[in-house]
Amino acid sequence: MCFLCLFVAKLSVAYNPSFQTQPMSKQTAAPPSRAGADEQSSTGVIDAPEQVDRKQLAREREEVKERQKDRFTGLNHEQLIGLYRQMQLIRRFEEKSMEAYVAGKIGGFCHVYIGQEAVAVGAISAIRKDDYVIASYREHGHALAKGMSARSIMAELFGKATGCSKGKGGSMHMFDKGLNFLGGHGIVGGQIPLATGAAFASMYQNKDQVTLCFFGEAAVNQGAFHESLNMAQLWKLPCIYICENNQYGMGTSLARAMSLRDIAQKGCAYDMASEFVDGMDVLAVREAVLRAVERGRKESLPTLLEVRTYRFMGHSMSDPGNYRTRAEIEKYQERDPIKLFSASLIEEKVIDEKGLEEINKQIHEEVEDAFRFADESPYPETKELYTDVYANPIDPSRNRNQ
């Protein structure tokens, strides 16, 4: 961290009245993994370390792992292994989708979730099946975690009739009404008011469902974010806003895009409970979301979670990646959420290497099967071009004769 950044950070604290008058009063738990000024400054290209201090990283990783293992309490082996399985499925699914993209089988945009798996998996493990989930265009992982099949998602990526959206949505628009997965949405922040509406419907109908709304940190700069949080707190809507802070909006670092980079702090602007969460620890995410879910169900109140994570791959498949250093990426790869969790599982004797290999083998087969299924599925029939435009298509000549 450079001294100039430290100076600026201190200055902004001194001149920001919200720091003085509202010291995170709504925080529900101590922020054990709050990155603070140190980690925030490292998000900029300029401040990124040129050299990787492997010893230091190893020490940090051990500390995080010990904290993670402390969170095993209350979860049985099946649940723990289930979390691993889902994260690994997302990782392998995304690797396969990258392969398919390069092979020309997937068109358009393809935003993969590699590195962020602990966020979707930890969060969705904390809700019921009838709760709603909505996400951005980087939503393959959330769709899998909500229970959608790898087949239906891969087929959608391939633009096939068997895809979850019949090949009409593609990578950014996975939907499953039966699973209350309200889709992937392509306009940055566009899903945030929609999530607020789903939570409104739960409140309106006096149901105790909650809505998980996933978005990236870049969406926080959109008006849709602020308008939604204001209404959600004002009207007590059970919506859990999960900001997946992967620290880059496409190629623009957080430091270059946001004046107040402490996103959890923005909850104060709406008198909303907020929390900072380590997004590389699947159990930390789960615990934070469980607290938010309880607040949503019991008090019909929203929560803002800032989940610090990192995407290991580019923004999309066409990302040149020239805006961040190799050293920075390696630093975060040391905190790979899947490696961390598998190490914790083995050390706590939840499962052994052989057991993990067996799961990995099953996942490999599941992903290969999804690929084959997508590849062999038919494209939508041409008559599908004009279906699903209207739920009630109107034929004026028919209506006129009524």
Partner 1 sequence: MPTITIREALNEAIREELARDDKVFIMGEEVAAYDGAYKVTRGLLKEFGPRRVIDTPITELGFAGLGVGAAMVGLRPIVEFMTFNFSILATDQIINSAAKMLYMSGGQFKIPIVFRGPGGSAIQVSSQHSQAIESWYTHFPGLKVVMPSTPADAKGLLKSAIRDDDPVVFIEQERMYGNKGEVPDDPDFTIPLGVADVKREGKDVTIVARSLMVPVALKAAEQLEEQGVSCEVIDPRTIRPLDIDTIIESVKKTNRVVVAEESHPICGVNAEISMQIMERAFDYLDAPIKRVSGADVPMPYAKNLENLTIPDVNKLVAAVREVAYLD
- Give yes or no for residue 234 binding partner 1 (CB under 8 A): yes
- Give yes or no for residue 383 binding partner 1 (CB under 8 A): no
Nearest CA to 176 out of 206, 203, 155 is that of 155
Distance CA 202, CA 208 (A): 7
- Give yes or no for residue 21 binding partner 1 (CB under 8 A): no
- Give yes or no for residue 163 binding partner 1 (CB under 8 A): yes
- Give yes or no for residue 147 binding partner 1 (CB under 8 A): no
Q: Give the shortest CB-158-to-partner 1 separation in angstroms.
A: 14
- Give yes or no for residue 231 binding partner 1 (CB under 8 A): yes
Question: Which amino acid belongs to residue 74?
Answer: G
- Give yes or no for residue 197 binding partner 1 (CB under 8 A): yes
Contact 287, 276 (CB under 8 A): no
- Give yes or no for residue 169 binding partner 1 (CB under 8 A): yes
- Give yes or no for residue 88 binding partner 1 (CB under 8 A): no
Q: Which two tokens stand for residue 21?
A: 């008058």
Closer CB to partner 1, 80 or 231, in the complex: 231
Please work out the total of residues on this chain that contact partner 1, with binding judged by CB under 8 A.
53
- Give yes or no for residue 183 binding partner 1 (CB under 8 A): yes
Q: What share of the chain is helix, strand, coil (3-state, %, to 5)?
A: 50, 10, 40
Distance CA 105, CA 29 (A): 46
Q: Candidates 55-63, 171-179, 243-251, 368-376: pick the segment binding partner 1 (CB under 8 A).
A: 171-179
Q: For partner 1, what does the binding mask look like between residues 106 and 145, x meaning CB under 8 A?
A: --------------------------x-x-----------
Distance CA 401, CA 62 (A): 75
Closer CB to partner 1, 122 or 267, in the complex: 267
- Give yes or no for residue 391 binding partner 1 (CB under 8 A): yes
Q: Looking at beta carbons, which pairs linking 98-104 to residues 24 or more positions away fall under 8 Å?
A: 98/313, 98/317, 100/154, 100/157, 100/158, 100/371, 100/374, 101/317, 102/317
Distance CA 282, CA 337 (A): 7
Q: Candidates 48-56, 106-114, 118-126, 224-232: pick the segment binding partner 1 (CB under 8 A).
A: 224-232
Question: Which amino acid belongs to residue 382?
Answer: T
Region of residue 235 (phi > 0: left; psi between -120 and 50: alpha; otherwise: beta): alpha
Distance CA 192, CA 236 (A): 15
- Give yes or no for residue 26 binding partner 1 (CB under 8 A): no
- Give yes or no for residue 267 binding partner 1 (CB under 8 A): no
Contact 284, 71 (CB under 8 A): yes
Q: Give the shortest CB-316-to-partner 1 separation in angstroms.
A: 18
Closer CB to partner 1, 50 or 395, in the complex: 395
Closer CB to partner 1, 7 or 379, in the complex: 379
Interface with partner 1 by CB under 8 A: which residues? 132, 134, 163-169, 173, 175-177, 180, 182-183, 185-187, 190, 192-202, 204-205, 223-224, 227-228, 230-231, 234, 387-392, 394-397, 399-400, 402
